[in-house]
Structure 1
């Protein structure tokens, strides 16, 4: 009986996280087993946000050391190297990306193993194919499926028909949701390295009475609430009509809203809590509103174009997908009769795999290597902007011959 087993080293450094992982592709039909993964993050709290040059220097001093620690832990070296290397090629900050791509090239040459340059957002999209401890009985999504990819750098709703066939249904017209949450939290006086997470924790610590009170206060106009704070969903103002046909996300206005309020008002602690609560609620409500609008335009209802016919799975991944409030809003407000009158099955990756990690890069690289039979030429360079619907338009793809695939797979004959 034939047995396939090979070890994959994966590297990720597209932003401020230095990540490395080892995966065991033990089966041709099952997702890989996670052997181990390490992660270290640049502390940018005192910098007011991520500074590209500081992130580059951090990765240059971290990624190789982190990789060495992981390899030593699992007794992997030049005499017993991994069989495949996967590294994030883009999108991301060029300096951050280059720190791991150049390191990966060197390892590929030294060990004589193939290298796959991976699309960062494809990695996020495919995390739902790994087993989920919070949803242990839930299998992987089936194509076609929808993905809400939400992070500090990207926010988009993607329709995926195959590994390489992705259509961006909704994109942002300004900043990403994670960036908006971070900036709003900073303006409200929160401090930390992951301000979106700090905002969530801040709100979670409110008393049930505070949450109930804040939830019932109308913020349509200043006269309708004692805090004189107003906030509205983007694209639902009168100039956009009743439903707002612009199928885009927009998150910059939430920061502008807080900045405008601070110019005219002093913020005490109770007001700060109220603004934080309402801002997070409206940011996520905006996402739900736009997604439901896409269902009306593309679902299986009368007057739609039927683009979503057959979709039964919905994936939410990326750093912001770790937010429990967002998960609850999606689960409670996207189910219904908008797609084939059946409820959607929601897939939420484990929290550790929502934020940037190397496991997802290894998984995506394995899929590209095995199903597309592709690897990346060693002359490739990082791609700062790389639309997920142009996955194979990037230069440097090389067809992998069966001989190399068999060598990586380490096909052996096992006697019963």
Structure 2
């Protein structure tokens, strides 16, 4: 009798486990917006929206060192060669419930590779498709991380997001899943682009040669300036006695670098809603070209000091805009989320936390793990899942878009070839372009 009960209990447990697994909602995600080809498979219980399991996640990056940066055609060919093998490597045994794919913004041809593949799979499997806003996915990444940790330490709306990468520098207020307001954005190049360009100027050739072809220049510069054996991430805000002493010691040892302090002289630009980084890189180039003895005469130690100075000036510029936004905010944000490739920079986090605290803002700073900071399909899967559960899918005619603002007050017209025009009387931002289909929410 005891053996019989044990056997029945075991079979019942197996059946219950099978039923629970069958009720899981599975998302297949594809990311091809720039030079990273990524796929992911995410599970989430239908009635536990704050919990998720990442079954598989793979990323390949196009080798870019030979081009001195991202090359659109090389990236496109890389996506074409690697996307299908990556999908095959997932060994999907059952068709997913939803396909999420990055729709924009990004490089149009690269996006099209992912979109066309996702549309084909959607038709073949007979499952819905959702085109994800790339920057929305970055902003929601801390919510993904919380879901993967069983729902712990999630970020609730409203929160503020700093999106910093090689292509974007945006300070964003996220009031809801599809309600966002851009508080500041770059008027020229992105922060990551500027750091990469300065890195190619500052890093000695022997250091660059030690890295693989698919190198992140900004990460290489950080490692060069802050060696693991001596991680000197110490930072003192401006106008403090410690900072004054540091500045005097730098001038005494290296002389005047005269690096540009962004937007400190241009009265035509409203300081509170703009970032600018091109001038900082230009003054670094000028210093190298005018150096007595040429660039070769600049020692390794001075290159490290210059790299730290460039990053500090740029990161303080970013921090000043965050302080202004916090002081103007009517509803205090629950957290400051830092996402995008540059979010992996530890010096950035150290400067922001100290700068904000020095100015009386002790806000929680949420930074996802490094593997989720760069472009990846896991964040696309989660963003797609959140949008799906809110009642949205994409039409079969959905197309990639190069420009797509998160700001609710941004609309696109019929004549704008970079984007699918939306309804002028409808919402802007995430929902401000065509291709959305409203569905009935059935508990998912």
Q: Same fold (TM over 0.5)?
A: yes
Matched, 1:247 2:273: yes
Matched, 1:386 2:404: yes
Farther off after superposition, 355-364 or 344-353? 344-353
Q: 1:395 aligns with which of 412, 428, 434?
A: 434
Contact persistence 1:314–1:347 (CA under 8 A): yes
Aligned to 1:318: 340
The CA deviation at 1:133 is: 11
Cα deviation digits, residues 277-331 of structure 1 (max 9, x gap):
21111111111122112233x13xxxxxx3xx23231111111101111111222
Give the distance between the partners of 1:42 and 1:356, measured in 2 at CA: 12
Give the distance between the partners of 1:226 and 1:338, measured in 2 at CA: 33
TM-score (structure 1 length as normaliser):
0.84
Aligned to 2:143: 129
Give the distance between the partners of 1:31 and 1:212, measured in 2 at CA: 37
Q: 1:105 to 1:244 in 2, by over 3 A?
A: closer
The CA deviation at 1:269 is: 2.0
Runs of 4+ in 1 over 6 A off after TM superposition: 133-137, 209-215
Cα deviation digits, residues 127-186 of structure 1 (max 9, x gap):
111236999996211211100111111111100111011000010001111111101101
Give the distance between the partners of 1:134 and 1:369, measured in 2 at CA: 18
Contact persistence 2:50–2:147 (CA under 8 A): no
Give the distance between the partners of 2:148 and 2:124, measured in 1 at CA: 40
Contact persistence 2:158–2:333 (CA under 8 A): yes
**What are structure 1's unaligned runs of at least 5 residues?**
300-305, 410-416
Aligned to 1:49: 69
Matches within 5 A, 1:226-237: 226-237=254-265
Aligned to 1:40: 60
Cα deviation digits, residues 93-125 of structure 1 (max 9, x gap):
011111111000000000000000000000000
Matched, 1:23 2:68: no
Farther off after superposition, 245-254 or 386-395? 245-254
Contact persistence 2:203–2:221 (CA under 8 A): no
Q: 1:136 to 1:83 in 2, by over 3 A?
A: closer
TM-score (structure 2 length as normaliser):
0.79
Give the distance between the partners of 1:245 and 1:198, measured in 2 at CA: 31
Cα deviation digits, residues 184-226 of structure 1 (max 9, x gap):
1011135352001001111111875988899754289x97653
Matched, 1:196 2:196: no
Matches within 5 A, 1:136-175: 139-175=153-189
Name the Cα RMSD after superposition: 3.0
Cα deviation digits, residues 373-415 of structure 1 (max 9, x gap):
111112111111100121101111112245xx57xx5xxxxxx
The CA deviation at 1:240 is: 4.3
Larger CA Rg, structure 1 vs 2: 2
Larger relative CO (CA 8 A, sep 6+): 1 or 2?
1
Q: 2:368 aligns with which of 346, 349, 370?
A: 349
Give the distance between the partners of 1:195 and 1:204, measured in 2 at CA: 14
Give the distance between the partners of 1:136 and 1:331, measured in 2 at CA: 27
**What are structure 2's unaligned runs of at least 5 residues?**
1-15, 237-242, 408-428
